[in-house]
Every structure is written in structure tokens, then in C-alpha cells.
Structure 1
Amino acid sequence: MGKTVLAIAVLSVAALTAGSASASPVGGGRFDRPWEGFAPASTELRDGDPSDAGLRSKPIDQAVGQIEAWTETVPGREHPMYAGAVGLVVHNGVVVSRSEAGYEVRYADGQGTELPADQWEPVDRDTIFDVASISKLFTSIAVLQQVEAGAVDLDSPVARYLPEFGANGKQTITVRQLLTHTSGLPAEVKLWTLPPQDRIPTVMALQPKSPPGTAYTYSDPNMITLGVLVERVTGDRLDEVVAEGITEPLGMRDTGYNPDRGELRRIAATEFQADPPRGMVRGQAHDENAWSLGGVAGQAGVFSTADDLAILGQTLLNGGAYAGERILGEHSVEQMLTNFNSAFPGNSHGLGFELDQRWYMAGLSGPHTAGHTGYTGTSLVIDPASRSIVVLLTNRVHPSRSWGSNNPARQALAQGLAEAMSVRPVRGSKSWFAPPQGPATLTTDSLGSVTGAAQVTFDAFVDTQMDGDGVDALAVEASGDEGATWQPVPLTATGPGAPEGPQQSLAGAGHRSWWRVQGSVPESSKPLRLRWRYAPDDQYVGRGVNIDGISVADRAGVLLDGERDDERLTPEGWFQTPR
């Protein structure tokens, strides 16, 4: 394979994973007990059901039902969200859910004319999908393999390896900046409109839109360039590098570029394209740039199955090894899961991987939750904190990209797994839970007049959407007029990830820890009522909110012990649950 030699090949899997025993000694199924470190390198996927992994099945089943429903027209949508879908959910090495619905092929043209029903081809668990930009992960792994081999330095200029790239203000752009989309290169380039001999030279000649390192722009030219870099330093084609360094060692038999035409009936169709005039695309890269580059490019072109992508996900959860084969060292995987874009809030990115993107990771989002989406309707989510993987493959562009996004389905499957995991009470056998759909209020009866300030204390597990508007948050409010009006109670929370200082409401995500919360209500002769109000926004959601250990006391004594007097609390949208 030319120069593609892993420097770590001489080390055994056991030697490289020594020290991974730092992982938390906890069982699966717990959202509030995140794992630390990588899973044992010996972890391999096995089929089971949610109960085998300590999960509740209902949230996952509900999500799968939604995904199935979206293969047809539902209220509020003019068209089906996608023709077909295959989903796969993994927790702690157990494949807890497999699902497939809809069709690989259903339409004859871009207007949505349906083929005769006997020509519709149903999806199956081994349907091969064009994964589009998930291909970027394979390119990124190939780059890091070359870093480990000593052939590439992350902080060296790209022009060191591709001299022709060092033109038009790109002399200082580094390999790391390409991987984190901070190079300043434009978001896209239309190579398919150019003569073949001009396509790669055009990428090499691009001019940055912003100075390198000063802005985040998700850019296909970044990854096209990295694909060329891999080919240059190895002397081999990118598809050969990926096959020999990633898919073949891991046994990903159905993953690669330009699938064999003999597998066509297993491949989901994508879009009917008129410009360029390709007709109904099936078995060729949907991405026009990748197609124009012969189906092999750094930003797109990979085809895969849900099972194969789950193997890739587990490999990364294992720290770079699977089934006795190591494709990356743990340090490289750590860099893929570490945010290098703290200067660009909302655009967290490791080396190649997107991080903490609630818009498709939903309640699994966290600082090190990694993944990627593909334009064709695909997504991969890898959550080290819960040792979970969610794969959703759809052909949402069949027959037309104009039919809309499948983000609700991406969110649904990730959210189903998040809600299937438990959040255990910290006091007693139950806590109050407000699901992320909200809104919800938990209101006390009259606590009487307050002698001195009333001290409110409780435990809170808060996993909500973080935004600057203060919505999707937990608040405590006080009323002295039997609930006619309510005033916020300033709160101070302590614990991992808790906001600093007094807050009008509490929001947080990714920390997966209980907080201890305190507030104070001024003395009053009027009868006091309190309520806990959870008000999520209507866009992106988290795992929800649990509260436990409620206590209200003034100078004269205890006004409310929530553990003993839960009948004094009136829930609307809150539920008592051991989870």
C-alpha cells in the first residue's frame, strides 16, 4: 500500500489499551453515571434488546415508530420525509434496536411520480446507502493515520505536502485547520462544471474568504484538499488507503467508494438530477463534486450500511481498536473527540468530527459526543459518556432534495436512546421528572406565612437546550396571592457543569450530573406557594429535568419536606419516576 504504514502497527492492542481501565465501574443504562475513558478494546457488538443493556424499550420503540411513519405523508408535510430508512442503536456494546422501513426505490422522476407498486424495492437491514458527508470521517481517520506514521504534522502548512496549495493567501493554512474547518476556505466549489483537468487545480488555487484561524466555515474544499494530501503522502488513491487502513481491518465489508454494480439492488436510490443530467442516481455518488472526481473524494463518495457504521462507531468508543485490529491510537481518537473550536461557540469540532450538535444528537449531546451527518439523509452519533451509537440512514433526497430535511428523524432516534437511559433518584426511591417536551409545573399547597426568609433547597438533574435567550430552563417561582402572580426565586446551583452565581433559571447540558440547588424567599405575612416550572423551547431538546429532595424551611422550622409530603405537590406535566 505504498507509504501507508501505521507507526503503531508493531504494538499490540493490549499494550495500547493498558490504562483504559480508568473507565467508571458502572453498569449500562444510566444517563446520570457517565463513563470515563474508552471502552475495553475487546468490546465487540452483539445483538440484544434494551433490557440486556439496562434500558427501557418504550422510548426507543416510539422513536422507531415515528421514523417508520415518516416514510409516508403525515399531517404537516406535503411529502414523505424520505423513501426509506434503516436505524441501528447501540448501548454499551449491545445492539438494542434495529429497524427498517420504506423503500430503496419508489419514484421514477424528480417530480415524485411513483413507479408501479410492484417496482418499489423495500429497504432491508443490509441496504447500502450513500452516506455523503459522513465520508469526511474516513478521510479524517486516514489523515490521522498518516500523522501517527510520521508522514504528516497537524500544525504544518498544507503547502508542505501540496506545494501548489500555497497560493492566493493559503501559505499558512495548517492540516489541523482543514480538519476543524477553520482554514477560511469557501464553503463549496462547483467542480462538475469544469473540465476534468481543471477540477483539483481549481481547489488548490482557491482564495480564503477569511484569514486562517479567524472563523468557522464548514467547507467541502477543506476535505477535498485533505483527500488529495492523503494520496500525495501515501502514493495511493484515497479509496485504496481507506480500504487497506480502515474498512478491511475492521471487517466493514459493505463500505467503500463506487460500489460494485452487482450490488445495485441493495443500494438505495438518491436523487433524480437534471443538472447535471444524471437521471435517477443509484450506486454513484450523489454529491456532484465527488461524482465529477470519479466517485472518490475527501468530502463524499462513501457508501455503507448501518451495521458497518456501527462497527466504526464502536472502534472509536474502544479507543481506535475493534476485533483485535487497531486503526488508530487512543491519543488520535482523543483528538477527534476534543473541541478545538472553543473560539467559535456552537461550532464545536474535533479533528474531523462534529461535537455537541444538539440539532441532530438531541439528548445525547455533550462536549465529547461526536458524529456527522450526510446531505443524503444520513447521520452517525457516537456518545462516549454513555458508550452509545446511533446510526440513521435514509435516502431523503429520493426523488428530490427540495422535499425537505430529515432532522426530526435524526433527533428522534438519538432522543429515544437518551430517554431510554435512567436518571436515578439521589434521595429516596423516586424523583420528579419533566420530559423534554414540556412545559411542566410542580406547585406546592399553601406553606403559610414565612418567619424570616424561607430557604428552598433541592437536587436537580438538568439537561436542556442551551441558548442565550434563557428559554428551555428550570425556574422556581413564588406566589403570595394564591397563584395569581408569580415572582422568580434566584437560585444558586453547585455541581459539575452548574452555572456560576445566582440565576433566575437553570439550564445546562452535557454534564450529566445532579446539582444541589438553593434559593431564598423573603419573609412575608402572606401565605407562600412555590412552583417549579420547566419551559422548554420548541426546537431542540435534551434529556429533560429531574428534581429530588425538595425542602422548604424558615426560621421557625420545616415548611415542606418533599420526600415525606409529596401529596402536597401538584404536578402538571411532571411525573414521579425512579428513572
Structure 2
Amino acid sequence: MNPQLPRSPHYRGARRGTRTTGEGVTVRALLITALLAILVTTTPAHATASETGRHEADGEVAVQERRGRFDVVRRGWADDVLRSGRPESVGLDPGPIAGALDQVRRFTAPDASGHPLFAGAVTLLAHDGVVTTHEPTGWAVRYADAAGTELPEDRRVPMRADTIFDLASISKLFTSIVVVRRQELGQLDLDAPVARYLPEFGVNGKSAITVRQLLTHTSGLEPWLPLWSKYPDVPARLKAVLDVAPKNPPGSTYTYSDLNLITLGLLAHRLTGKPLDVLVREEITEPLGLRDTGYNPPADELDRVAATEFQAHRGLVRGQVHDENAWSLGGVAGHAGVFGTAADLAVLGQAILNGGEYRGRRILRPRTVELMLTDFNQGFPGNAHGLGFELDQRWYMGALTSPKAAGHTGFTGTTLVLDPLSGSIAVLLTNRVHPSRDWGSINPARRAVANGLAAALAVRPRHGRAAWTATTHLGTLTTATLTRSDRVRLRFDAFVDLDPGDRVVVQASNDGTSWRDLKVLAGYGARRWERVELATESATAFRWLYVKGEGYGGRGVYVDGVRVSDRHGVVVDAERDPGVLRADGWRSADR
């Protein structure tokens, strides 16, 4: 259980606007309850695909029907306050979550390289406002030097649920929120040149670069400059940022750049007269109650701060920002510098899922949040980006990925993933640069956590109690041999959420040996069941061939309600007789 997220005293199991009853329950309420019970018990176990699909497509599924499901998307903004609970309380399968946590723990042990993937971590998972997982593992301080000499165990600092991490580039989200608030308040136009508000920036070919291009990393600026080592003081470093010439024509390319966000931090300061750290405190952390989030942690909290790297010029970095450029700017910069806990980061994520509000305190209007989660980079495939948020990035969002999935990562080993379609949050905070930034990528851990939460969400069978799902890299699901083969029609329901490199092919055969393709199934990001009907002049068998590609995978493929008919009627009905399907690398699944 999460000690920082107790059950809210305002939470009574009902949504805002729903009145709960005390001792004086009315007769009318009892009658309504009884009627609902009758409807539930008399509804057929499996409504037709068209009936159920119509309600789900219209967003009419009740909260209790959508909760814990991957195959029914959430419509509109949430209205949740985070509170602790068990996975089962919101319909999640605890097994995949436990498996993901086991993987995170294993990553803190040495592997073939001789060292762990990271010294320690805190994992937080939430769904529908319930924090089901908040687990620390490993060490906040583990090493004595840059070579990786381990401290004696009694001198190490264990990771805690409330350990404070250097969030690194997740800081960019805080800067972005501050900037888009300026648009809300009428202080800037996102499509205006930055030089309108920050004239010093409009030199060396940058006069046309817009605020939106900085937010979406399409400004053409190079990724970074060695500010800390090449320039003598803060004024010289800031001037270097403002003077830099574009590497590419503005709007022509996507290049992830720290310089974009450093510039935005300066822009916000110029517009308001307040430094970035003050704006972040006044407009984000204080309204949301993020007590452990901010720049330059106070000295009396050092025992809770995770160590980062041993640097030749600084020694062990702990309690100061790891990024050298942000450090050289006093610890406050648009691209890095924010420290925080997993619990605080989850609250920020929930505020975004709520449309900019948390516990009655609004930091953004819903329309502004919508813009932050809108892909403005469709001209640069693979680099989907809203106003600050990265979108649709399977390399760290794993099976939670969809065109609506949003998040950010940080170089120190931090990750935030928001899944608006299921109302879910995945946070993985690690100190992977402790003791060295050269010990490898933690992307496998990022995906493991996201995949665990995605797998805990159910894909409910379309008919009856079970559907068929692929389980191996190469598998087939094959119908029994048909006794008649002329003018055959195949009908089934399919749920497909896979990496674009994976393939699911429906095939037909006249002899059971050679197969011809009828249809390739696709559905990445759609998260819904689809009815499929195929016809062929002749066939004695059908099969579903699943081939895993080289990508990161997805939630999976499910097939249900298989029926084969010819001109005389139904010849195969897998719901009545599951034995007519032969599975090799597929299994029967109830979620």
C-alpha cells in the first residue's frame, strides 16, 4: 500500500455529481437497485457483436463495465483522485503486474555485463484513480566510485517509496505546461515567432521559428551545446543559446533539442518577470500539492535523494541536477533540473488525464490539455509530439502504446507513461546513471513495466467465456476439415493490437497442406473488437497464422465466435463445439 496516497476522505465509491445514500435509503432507490439486478441477471451471457459493439462505440459502457479493460476505451476526461488499492479492486489481473515487478527487481542484480541495469527503482502503477502498485527496490546509493565498487551494505542507502529522483528531461513537461499557460492567459500566440517576445532569439536565421516549433522539436535547432564547459558564466551560456543558428530550416525536420526548452524557459521568464522555478512552483506544484517536486532539493532532504553519477569534475552527484548544462545554469533550466517522487509524478499525470484539474485545483483548461496531447508532427512519422508530451512511442510505452498514449523519459533513468484510453498511469523512476551513464539502456525495463500494466487490463471474450489468443512467435489456429467446400463463408470476431511488424493472416486451404492468404488483420491502437466476414468459392479448412516481427510487440491478437457456413447452412460453430479448432501456439483465454 502507498503511504503517501491514502484513500481520499472525499471518495465514497461514486463519481462527482453522484449522491451516495446513508441510513435513509429511499424506496425508489431500492426499486431501481432491484430493477438493475434483474436486468443484469436476465441479460444473455453474450450479446451479439453488433449490439455490444454499438454501445461500446458510442461510449455508453458503464464505468464498472469499462474498468480494468483494454478492449473498451475511455471517453472524455477522468475525474479521479489517486488513492491506494489492490489491482483486483479495479478489475486488473495482479499476475502480469507481479511479473513486471519481478523483472524490475531482477534488473537490480548483475547480468552478463557484470553489473545491474540500474542500482534501484520505484515503480508506480495506477488505473482509474487507484494506485495498485508503489514499490521500491534496490538502492538509492550503492557505489563508492565511478568504477562501480559497491559500498558495504550497511553504508548503502535503500530505495524508498518516497525517494526523490532527478527527473532529467521529464522537466520538459513542467516547462511546457508553464508555456502553454501563457497562451491560456493571452500572453502569447503559439504560432507567433519566438522573437516577438524574446527579440534576442531572432538572430542568425531564427526570426521565423515559432513557439509551437520549440514545443514540438521542429525548430531546426541542434540537440545541445556544451554550455557548462565552453562558456565561462551564466550570462555567456544563455547568450550562446539565444545566438545559436539553426542546424536545419525551421519546420523541415524533427530534432529533439534541449535548446528548444531552455529557450522556452527564458521566454516564460521574460513574459512574466518570474524565473522558471517560481512559475513551476506557483502554477504546478503548489496547486497540485506536489510537496516533493521542484528544483534544487533542500539540504535537509538529501537522505531521500537518489544518487546519480560520479563525474570527474563534481564527484558523486546527489541532490544537484545531473545534467551539466542545467547545473551550470544554477540548477534551473527549461530542459532539466526538476526533482520529484513517483507519487508526485503520478499526481501530475492524473491531472492531465483529468483534463488539467486535480482535487478541484485547475492548472490547465481541458482544451489546452487536448492540444498538449495532439500530434502536431504527422509530417515526421515515428516522432509524434504534442505541445511538450511525446506521443505513441512504443520503445518505452510498450503495449500501452496508441496514438493517444503520452509521456516522457529522462536521461537519468526516469519514465512517465499516460494511457488516456484506459485511464492508466505507469511510472518507473531509476537511478540508472549511478555510478556511470555508460552502463547501458534501461528501455527493456521501461517496456516491462508498461507491458505488465497493459497485460493486467482485460480483453474480454466477445462470445461465451473464452476466446483464442496467440502465445508464441509463430502459431496457427486451424479449423477442422470441412466435408463440403463450395461457396464457403467464414465469420469471426477479431481483436488486434500488435506492433506494425507483426502479422496475423487469415488463410484458406483446399487440401490442408497449401494455404492462400485471404486477409491480413490489423488494428493497432484501435482497441476494439471487429466483425470479419470472408467468402471464397472453395475451401476445406481455414486458419489464422500469427508471425511475431522484430518490433516490441503489443497487447495481442484474439479470435472469437468462429463460424463457417456454405449454401446449405452452418458447418462449423466453434462456440458450440470448441473442439473444431486446433491450436498450435494459441490458447483459450478468458481475458
Equivalent residue letter for 1:72: A
Structure 1 residues 144 and 117: alpha-carbon distance in aligned structure 2, compared to 1, 3 A threshold:
same
What CA distance in whole angstroms lies between the structure 2 residues aligned with 1:268 and 1:24?
Answer: 43
Cross-structure match for 1:460: 494
Cross-structure match for 1:63: 100
Cross-structure match for 1:174: 210
Out of 21-30 and 220-229, give the one that drifted further.
Answer: 21-30
Cross-structure match for 2:339: 303
Which deviations, in whole Å up to 9, do the C-alpha atoms of 1:4-38 show, x marking residues without a partner?
Answer: xxxxxxxxxxxxx99xx989633311111111110
Which deviations, in whole Å up to 9, do the C-alpha atoms of 1:250-304 show, x marking residues without a partner?
Answer: 1100000110121111111111112xx1112111111111111111000001100
Cross-structure match for 1:4: none
Cross-structure match for 1:550: 562
User: What is the SS of the residue equivalent to 1:58?
Assistant: helix
Q: Do 1:87 and 1:99's aligned partners in 2 also have CA atoms closer than 8 Å?
A: yes
Cross-structure match for 1:26: 63
Q: 2:585 aligns with which of 565, 573, 576?
A: 573
What CA distance in whole angstroms lies between the structure 1 residues aligned with 2:479 and 2:575?
Answer: 13
Cross-structure match for 1:225: 263
Within-5 A mapping of 1:527-542: 528-542=540-554
Equivalent residue letter for 1:477: Q
Q: Do 1:22 and 1:37's aligned partners in 2 also have CA atoms closer than 8 Å?
A: no
Pair 1:444-2:483 in alignment: no
Give, in angstroms, the shift of residue 234 of structure 1.
Answer: 1.1
Pair 1:473-2:503 in alignment: yes
Q: Do 1:48 and 1:96's aligned partners in 2 also have CA atoms closer than 8 Å?
A: yes
Q: Do 2:491 and 2:563's aligned partners in 1 also have CA atoms closer than 8 Å?
A: yes
Give, in angstroms, the shift of residue 564 of structure 1.
Answer: 1.6
Cross-structure match for 1:520: 535
Which deviations, in whole Å up to 9, do the C-alpha atoms of 1:431-486 show, x marking residues without a partner?
Answer: 11225x6433212232245123x2222111100012xxxx3121122334433x43
Cross-structure match for 2:308: 270
Q: 2:226 aligns with which of 190, 193, 199?
A: 190
Q: 2:296 aligns with which of 258, 261, 284?
A: 258
Cross-structure match for 2:145: 109
Structure 1 residues 443 and 285: alpha-carbon distance in aligned structure 2, compared to 1, 3 A threshold:
same
Give, in angstroms, the shift of residue 538 of structure 1.
Answer: 4.0
Q: Do 1:181 and 1:222's aligned partners in 2 also have CA atoms closer than 8 Å?
A: yes
- The percent of aligned pairs where both chains have the same amino acid is 56
Q: 1:209 aligns with which of 238, 242, 247?
A: 247
Within-5 A mapping of 1:37-436: 37-40=76-79, 43-74=80-111, 76-193=112-229, 194-196=231-233, 197-274=235-312, 277-435=313-471
What CA distance in whole angstroms lies between the structure 1 residues aligned with 2:246 and 2:557?
Answer: 44
User: What is the SS of the residue equivalent to 2:248?
Assistant: coil
Q: Do 1:184 and 1:213's aligned partners in 2 also have CA atoms closer than 8 Å?
A: yes
User: What is the SS of the residue equivalent to 1:108?
Assistant: coil
Query: Structure 2 unaligned runs (5+)?
Result: 1-15, 18-57
What CA distance in whole angstroms lies between the structure 2 residues aligned with 1:522 and 1:152?
Answer: 64
User: What is the SS of the residue equivalent to 1:477?
Assistant: strand
Q: Do 1:23 and 1:35's aligned partners in 2 also have CA atoms closer than 8 Å?
A: no
Aligned pair count reads 532
What CA distance in whole angstroms lies between the structure 1 residues aligned with 2:152 and 2:114?
Answer: 21
What CA distance in whole angstroms lies between the structure 2 residues aligned with 1:38 and 1:333?
Answer: 10
What CA distance in whole angstroms lies between the structure 1 residues aligned with 2:402 and 2:491?
Answer: 27
Which deviations, in whole Å up to 9, do the C-alpha atoms of 1:374-407 show, x marking residues without a partner?
Answer: 0111000111111111110001111111110111
Q: Do 1:464 and 1:536's aligned partners in 2 also have CA atoms closer than 8 Å?
A: no
Q: Do 2:59 and 2:74's aligned partners in 1 also have CA atoms closer than 8 Å?
A: no
User: What is the SS of the residue equivalent to 1:427?
Assistant: coil
User: What is the SS of the residue equivalent to 1:312?
Assistant: helix
Q: 1:35 aligns with which of 49, 60, 74?
A: 74
What CA distance in whole angstroms lies between the structure 1 residues aligned with 2:293 and 2:186?
Answer: 27
Equivalent residue letter for 1:221: L
What CA distance in whole angstroms lies between the structure 2 residues aligned with 1:305 and 1:200?
Answer: 29
User: What is the SS of the residue equivalent to 2:265?
Assistant: helix
User: What is the SS of the residue equivalent to 2:570?
Assistant: strand
Query: Structure 1 unaligned runs (5+)?
Result: 1-16, 492-504
User: What is the SS of the residue equivalent to 1:115?
Assistant: coil
Equivalent residue letter for 2:523: G
Q: Do 1:135 and 1:298's aligned partners in 2 also have CA atoms closer than 8 Å?
A: yes
Structure 1 residues 93 and 233: alpha-carbon distance in aligned structure 2, compared to 1, 3 A threshold:
same
What CA distance in whole angstroms lies between the structure 2 residues aligned with 1:124 and 1:447?
Answer: 61
What CA distance in whole angstroms lies between the structure 1 residues aligned with 2:585 and 2:114?
Answer: 32
What CA distance in whole angstroms lies between the structure 2 residues aligned with 1:258 and 1:433?
Answer: 49
Equivalent residue letter for 2:383: N
Q: Do 1:23 and 1:38's aligned partners in 2 also have CA atoms closer than 8 Å?
A: no
User: What is the SS of the residue equivalent to 1:415?
Assistant: helix
Structure 1 residues 24 and 318: alpha-carbon distance in aligned structure 2, compared to 1, 3 A threshold:
farther
Give, in angstroms, the shift of residue 77 of structure 1.
Answer: 4.4
Which deviations, in whole Å up to 9, do the C-alpha atoms of 1:328-367 show, x marking residues without a partner?
Answer: 1111101111111111111111100001111111111112
Equivalent residue letter for 1:26: V
Equivalent residue letter for 2:275: R
Q: Do 1:23 and 1:39's aligned partners in 2 also have CA atoms closer than 8 Å?
A: no
Give the ranges of 4+ consecutive aligned residues of structure 1 lying more than 4 Å apart after TM superposition: 21-24
Which deviations, in whole Å up to 9, do the C-alpha atoms of 1:198-231 show, x marking residues without a partner?
Answer: 1111111111122111211111100010011111
Q: Do 2:254 and 2:383's aligned partners in 1 also have CA atoms closer than 8 Å?
A: yes
Cross-structure match for 1:564: 576
What CA distance in whole angstroms lies between the structure 1 residues aligned with 2:564 and 2:318?
Answer: 64
Q: Do 1:30 and 1:386's aligned partners in 2 also have CA atoms closer than 8 Å?
A: yes
What CA distance in whole angstroms lies between the structure 2 residues aligned with 1:179 and 1:289?
Answer: 19
Equivalent residue letter for 2:157: E
Structure 1 residues 131 and 24: alpha-carbon distance in aligned structure 2, compared to 1, 3 A threshold:
farther
What CA distance in whole angstroms lies between the structure 2 residues aligned with 1:568 and 1:309?
Answer: 50
Report the TM-score when normalising by structure 2.
Answer: 0.87
What CA distance in whole angstroms lies between the structure 1 residues aligned with 2:452 and 2:530?
Answer: 24
